[in-house]
Structure 1
Amino acid sequence: MRSYHFHKNRKNLSIGKIICLARTYKKHAEEMKTNTPPNPLLFLKPASAVIFSGESIIYPKISHCVHHEVEMGIVIEKRASNISKDKALDVVAGYVVGLDITARDIQSIAKKNGWPWGIAKGFDTFAPISDVVSVDDVDDPDDFSFKLWVNSKLRQQGETKNLIWNVKTLISYISSIMTLEPGDLILTGTPEGVSEIRIDDQITAELTGLINLSVDVKPFISKEKN
C-alpha cells in the first residue's frame, strides 16, 4: 500500500479510499450541461489510482478520449463519523492538488445506457496527487487558488471560495454517509475548463504558492508474455 508524501515532514500515512465530488462548481456543471445538485454528489476512486509527481498517467488502451480535472484534495488523518461542521477541520492532515483523470468516452457511453461509470474514473494512474501541505501551513482551505497547465498552456484555474459547499460542510456531509478513516482523500471537485489530454502531454498543476504537481501521459504497454 502506498503512502502520502508530506511536503515538510516525514509523517507516515497510508492512502485509503478516495472520495470524489461532482458538480461542486457551478460553472463546471454548466459546461457539462448538468444542473447543480441539492446535496453533494459522491463517487469513489481506488487507492491504486494514485501516482505522484514525476510519474506518468497511462492512457488506457480501451479509451480514445481522456480528460483532466484539477481539484483541491483534503487528506484525512483521524477517524470521523457524523462529525459536526465546527469540528470538521480537526480531522484533516493537510491538502493536495490532485487530478481526477476521466475516460470521458467510457463515461459518456455508460451514462447514456444508465450504467455505472466507475471504470471511467478508476484506471491505474488516474489520480495524480502532489505532496501534502500540512494544515499548519494553511490559514483557510476555503481560500485556495489552483491552476493546471498542459504543455505550458493554462487550461484550468479555480478558487475554493467558489465551491458550492465549503470545506467544513463537505467533510461533515461525507462523514454522515460513510466513516472517514485515516488516509482517506477527498477530491473536492473541478472548476470549468476540463479538456482532453493526449499521449506525451506534460501536465503541471499547483496550489498557488504552496505545492506543485507534474506528470506526463504515456501509452499503455502490455506486460503480458507470449
Structure 2
Amino acid sequence: MNADYVFAAPTRPSVAIAKESRRFPVRRIFCVGLNYAAHAREMRKAQDQGQGSEKEPPPFFFAKPADALVESGGAIPYPSLTQNLHHEIELVAALGGGGADIPADEALSHVFGYAAGVDLTRRDLQAAARAAGLPWDMSKGFDNSAPIGAIRPAAEIGHPARGRIALSVNGAPRQQGDLSDMILGVAEIVSVLSRFVALAPGDLIFTGTPSGVGPLLPGDRAEGEVEGVGAVSVTIEN
C-alpha cells in the first residue's frame, strides 16, 4: 500500500560503500561520549577550568539526526549560533543487524562495516548547556554535523580493535590516538547500547574521539583517517 503524504517524503540518508555502487541506508546515528580516557580528562579539565577530577565519568550515549551526515570531501557552511566549532575524529560502526539486549560475544556479528567520521561540536553551546544543567542536543545534532567517509565492510577488513586514528587541520596534526585506547570496544558499545534501545540495520555508531579536539575556522580543511578503515575530510566554507 502506497502512503499518500501531504508533501514529498524526504530521501533517506545513505553512505557510500567502498568499491561498490550500492549504498548503506542510514536509520539512526548514535554517538559515544568520553570513550577515550585522555579526551575525558581533556574535557574535564576544560569544564573545571584546570582543577580536574580524580574520577572521570563513564562513557555515555547521545544522538544526531540521520540527515546531519555529510559525504567526505564536502564543504559546509560555518554553523550558526557558535563561535567555537570543534572537530572530533571517530571510528564509525555501521550495523547490518540489530536487536535488544545483544550479548557482547555476539555483538560484532551485527556490524556490517566501518568508516571514519567526524563529530562536529558547537563547543560553546555545549559548555553553556552543561553549566545550566540542560540537554546539549543542539551542540551536537545540528545540520552537517556528521561528516563521514565510505564504509569498508567487516567481511573485507575484519573488526579493527587497534590502529592509528588521527586528524589534521590544514595539514597540521591535531588529534592522534589508537583504537586500542577506547574504554569500551565496539562489541561492548553495541551490547550496552542495545540495552537502551533496540538496534536495527542502518544504525551508525560514532565510537568516541581521542584527545586533541580543537576549533575549526572558516576556510579550514579537516582531514581524518582511521588505520585500516579509511579517511574522511570536510572543508568549512568562508
* 2:125 corresponds to: 106
One-letter amino acid of the counterpart of residue 78, structure 1: G
Q: What is the CA distance between 1:162 and its match in structure 2? A: 0.9
SS in 1 for 2:16: coil
Unaligned runs of 5+ in 1: 220-226
One-letter amino acid of the counterpart of residue 21, structure 2: R
Of 158, 161, 183, the residue aligned with 1:164 is 183
CA RMSD of aligned residues (A): 1.4
Q: What is the CA distance between 1:13 and its match in structure 2? A: 2.7
Distance 1:209 1:13, change over 3 A: closer
One-letter amino acid of the counterpart of residue 123, structure 1: F
SS in 2 for 1:193: coil
* 1:32 corresponds to: 43
Distance 1:117 1:74 in 2: 23
Q: Deviations over 1:71-122 (max 9, x none)?
A: 1010011122111111101111100111110001111111111111100111
SS in 1 for 2:77: strand
Distance 2:23 2:147 in 1: 19
Q: Do the aligned residues in 1 keep the contact of 2:115 with 2:229 (CA within 8 Å)?
A: no
One-letter amino acid of the counterpart of residue 222, structure 2: I
Q: Tell me the matched-pair count.
A: 218
Distance 2:96 2:229 in 1: 20
TM-score by length of 1: 0.92
Q: Do the aligned residues in 2 keep the contact of 1:145 with 1:157 (CA within 8 Å)?
A: yes
Distance 1:37 1:111 in 2: 14
Q: What is the CA distance between 1:135 and its match in structure 2? A: 0.2
Q: Do the aligned residues in 2 keep the contact of 1:79 with 1:179 (CA within 8 Å)?
A: yes
Distance 1:140 1:48 in 2: 26
SS in 2 for 1:168: helix
One-letter amino acid of the counterpart of residue 57, structure 2: P
Structure 1 ranges of 4+ moved more than 6 A: none
One-letter amino acid of the counterpart of residue 235, structure 2: D
Amino-acid identity (%)? 36
* 1:211 corresponds to: 230
Does residue 68 of structure 1 match 2:79?
no
TM-score by length of 2: 0.87
Structure with greater Cα Rg: 2
Q: What is the CA distance between 1:211 and its match in structure 2? A: 1.5
Tell which deviates more after alignment, 3-12 or 170-179: 3-12
SS in 2 for 1:10: coil
Unaligned runs of 5+ in 2: 1-11, 45-52
